[in-house]
Amino acid sequence: AFACNSYNKVTVAQSNSITYVAPARTGDRLTAMAVEIARSGRSGTWDVTVTNQDGATIALFRGLARTISGTLFEEE
């Protein structure tokens, strides 16, 4: 959500899928790294990789988003 809303345009989920690669354990520190794959018009695609503190992949996420009207905050 943060990645696809980073252009200050209200953007909502259109569809997504998550593949769980390995279990996370209690106490793990998880990090999500989002990469914009494509953005055209009002549509965009982002891939997110979730890793633990050892760099092991925990989950893979692909989200498709659609921009709707409005902004998240006023720009100066």
The domains of the chain, with CATH numbers, are 11-67 (3.10.129.10)
Which pLDDT belongs to residue 64? 95
Distances (CA, A) of 70 to 12, 14, 56, 61, 74: 11, 17, 38, 26, 10
Find out whether 46 and 27 touch, Cβ atoms under 8 Å.
no
Query: Residue 8's CB: how many other CB atoms inside 10 A?
Result: 12
Spatial distance between the Cα atoms of 70 and 9, rounded to a whole number of angstroms: 6
What pTM does this model have?
Answer: 0.83
Q: Residue length, the chain?
A: 76
Which pLDDT belongs to residue 4? 84
Which pLDDT belongs to residue 74? 83
Percentage with pLDDT > 90 across the chain:
70
For 63, the 3-state DSSP assignment is strand
